[in-house]
Amino acid sequence: MSFPDIPSHVNRPGQFSFENGIRVTLARPGYAEGELEVRPTSSNPHGTVHGGCLYTLADTVAGTAACAHGASCVTISGNMEFLRPADGPTIRCVATPKKQGNTLSVMQVVLTNAQGKEVATGTFTFFMLSMKKD
Amino acid sequence: MSFPDIPSHVNRPGQFSFENGIRVTLARPGYAEGELEVRPTSSNPHGTVHGGCLYTLADTVAGTAACAHGASCVTISGNMEFLRPADGPTIRCVATPKKQGNTLSVMQVVLTNAQGKEVATGTFTFFMLSMKKD
Amino acid sequence: MSFPDIPSHVNRPGQFSFENGIRVTLARPGYAEGELEVRPTSSNPHGTVHGGCLYTLADTVAGTAACAHGASCVTISGNMEFLRPADGPTIRCVATPKKQGNTLSVMQVVLTNAQGKEVATGTFTFFMLSMKKD
Amino acid sequence: MSFPDIPSHVNRPGQFSFENGIRVTLARPGYAEGELEVRPTSSNPHGTVHGGCLYTLADTVAGTAACAHGASCVTISGNMEFLRPADGPTIRCVATPKKQGNTLSVMQVVLTNAQGKEVATGTFTFFMLSMKKD
């Protein structure tokens, strides 16, 4: 399995997202998709997926969408609304732009469970750094 | 090491937070502290601590503060501001209330690095469920 | 001009929104539209529409959408992203649900200028009160 | 009554904040205070102060704190938590920094009623523009 368009630094061992079952599955400038493979260790005290795990999925996918054209960026802020309990086997995330600027980008995310129900939504703001040369 | 006042369901294997190096170190109603032991697997693509890892720390500690009097609660929403790059060896989180209601609680968190510099702040809103009987 | 489906307490003198040029123009359960007629007194120090004025439009329209089925509700929290400077003659707001629950509703808003460009987006969370009897 | 340290463009007719009873009462770099004089036209449908009016107070005071050293800035995003119903005769707002950067500043606000009870809190992020020359 390979995702040729995906920034090579996202889906790799050592990354907090990767180590916790998160993969970016599609990326182009201003759009990205990703998936969490829910594990026994994805849990919060209620036995559903931890909000921090969902946030990790969202931040990773949104950041990939914001930076997929070769720039680098850092997250300034991000908020999430937890709409209903999330469980497995998978949670899917789609990120689309509210704004794509040279300095700031604002991405929205929608997270759905395997039945297609929205479990969480969020908005992330990124500060765009200089273009990568590599 | 034991933390006798801490809800027993937080610091235990299988929890997403625990599995990623996060411990609640102090908890009483309306106040909690916790710590992330930064690991090589805590990283984002920039090599600093992933925002999702910081969010996990924050949500876990804030939720403990909101529920430390024996109630159960779920996170409705939570936002974070990432103030500067975060790195190890540890990140500390303190949660204090903006509001503690019977139905809703709002907690603020401050995350500091080992040098005492604030790396992130946030606000989490919880919906309070019925008191636990166990 | 009349808006027969709109809760009668929104578009009326004395309301902060009404007094500042804001009207709800369409409302049904889970959906509402509204408009700000930009005035010389809508300004921030930059000479564009004040973020607080945009937030007033958004909160009013989102709250109407959340409560249009006859319930009453209060805003728990609301965040906005200001995407570009906003100016007149009008700003339009559309509110749609992310979640409509018996206890909590989460509404998203999109604000556009007269050229159809998005100037701001936001997310508002409402706590649903008992149904109105009148 | 004069506030010699306050940016001259804030407390003046035509400003949305000023026209709605809001004054900045103290400002220095990284700190500002302001007050809303609650009016009959400050209301939401519940008869308490409209969230948009509180947000206007907060954004105005936070922006003044962020820019009080002579820079100009624009609000990128801002969220508020409404903790309890707000009513008059006055609402006071204090803004303090979470971060003061050359590019980005993050301010937190606390709004209290005349009895000193917190009615709302919030966090605002500003993008810093070039220094003003006037």
d(CA C87, CA D129): 19
Order of strands, edge to edge, in the sheet holding D31-37? Answer: C22-28, C31-37, C90-100, C104-113, C118-131, C71-82, D71-82, D118-131, D104-113, D90-100, D31-37, D22-28
Q: DSSP assignment, residue A86?
A: -
* pLDDT tens string A82-116: 999 999 999 999 999 999 999 999 999 999 999 99
In a domain, D89, yes or no: yes
- The pLDDT score that the predictor gives to residue D130 is 65
> In the predicted model, what is the mean pLDDT of residues C36-54?
97
The answer to whether the Cα torsion of B41, A76, D61, D21 is positive or negative is negative
Are A16 and B75 a contacting pair at CB < 8 A? no
Residue C28 has pLDDT above 50, yes or no: yes
Residue A1 has pLDDT above 50, yes or no: no
In a domain, A10, yes or no: no
User: pLDDT tier at D68 (50, 70, 90 boundaries)?
Assistant: confident
Distance from CA of A117 to the nearest CA of C (A): 11
In a domain, A79, yes or no: yes
Are A104 and D127 a contacting pair at CB < 8 A? yes
> In the predicted model, what is the mean pLDDT of residues D6-34?
92
d(CA D24, CA D56): 12
- The pLDDT score that the predictor gives to residue D85 is 97
Residue A75 gets the label, from left (phi > 0), alpha (psi -120 to 50) or beta, of beta
- The pLDDT score that the predictor gives to residue B134 is 39
Distance from CA of D6 to the nearest CA of B (A): 27
Domain that holds residue B74: 16-131
- The pLDDT score that the predictor gives to residue C112 is 98
Interface partners of chain A (CB pairs < 8 Å, 3 or more) are: B, C, D
Distance from CA of D53 to the nearest CA of B (A): 20
In a domain, B107, yes or no: yes
* pLDDT tens string B61-113: 999 999 877 778 999 999 999 999 999 999 999 999 999 999 999 999 999 99
Are D121 and B123 a contacting pair at CB < 8 A? yes
Residue A2 has pLDDT above 60, yes or no: no
Q: Which residues of A touch B42 (CB under 8 A)?
A: 16
Residue D43 has pLDDT above 80, yes or no: yes
Residue C46 has pLDDT above 50, yes or no: yes
Residue C36 has pLDDT above 60, yes or no: yes
In a domain, B56, yes or no: yes
Domain count, chain A: 1
- The pLDDT score that the predictor gives to residue B86 is 98
- The pLDDT score that the predictor gives to residue B5 is 62
With CA atoms as reference, the chain C residue closest to D83 would be C76
> In the predicted model, what is the mean pLDDT of residues C11-39?
96
> In the predicted model, what is the mean pLDDT of residues A51-58?
98
Residue D69 has pLDDT above 90, yes or no: no
> In the predicted model, what is the mean pLDDT of residues C111-134?
87
User: pLDDT tier at D5 (50, 70, 90 boundaries)?
Assistant: low
The mean of the pLDDT values for chain D is 91
The encoded tokens of residue A111 equal: 């997270």
d(CA A34, CA A29): 14
Q: What percent of chain B has pLDDT over 70?
A: 92
Residue B118 has pLDDT above 50, yes or no: yes
In a domain, A6, yes or no: no
Element housing C51 (H / E): helix C51-67
Distance from CA of B110 to the nearest CA of C (A): 20
pTM: 0.93
Residue C6 has pLDDT above 70, yes or no: yes
- Other beta carbons within 10 angstroms of residue B7's beta carbon come to 18
- From the list D81, D123, D125, the residue facing B125 with the nearest CB is D81
- The pLDDT score that the predictor gives to residue A4 is 53
In a domain, A36, yes or no: yes
Q: DSSP assignment, residue D62?
A: H
- The pLDDT score that the predictor gives to residue C8 is 76
Please tell me which residue, C92 or D30, carries the higher pLDDT value: C92
Q: What percent of chain A has pLDDT over 90?
A: 81
In a domain, D2, yes or no: no
Residue B76 gets the label, from left (phi > 0), alpha (psi -120 to 50) or beta, of alpha
Interface partners of chain B (CB pairs < 8 Å, 3 or more) are: A, C, D
* pLDDT tens string B4-51: 567 778 999 999 999 999 999 999 888 999 999 999 999 999 999 999
With CA atoms as reference, the chain A residue closest to D126 would be A76
The encoded tokens of residue B97 equal: 């209330």
Q: Which residues of B touch C127 (CB under 8 A)?
A: 103-104
* pLDDT tens string A75-88: 999 999 999 999 99
- The pLDDT score that the predictor gives to residue A134 is 39
Residue D25 has pLDDT above 80, yes or no: yes
CATH of the domain at C88: 3.10.129.10
Q: How far is CA C22 from the centre of its chain?
A: 8
d(CA C79, CA A77): 12
The mean of the pLDDT values for chain C is 91
The mean of the pLDDT values for chain B is 91
Are D125 and A77 a contacting pair at CB < 8 A? yes
User: pLDDT tier at D4 (50, 70, 90 boundaries)?
Assistant: low
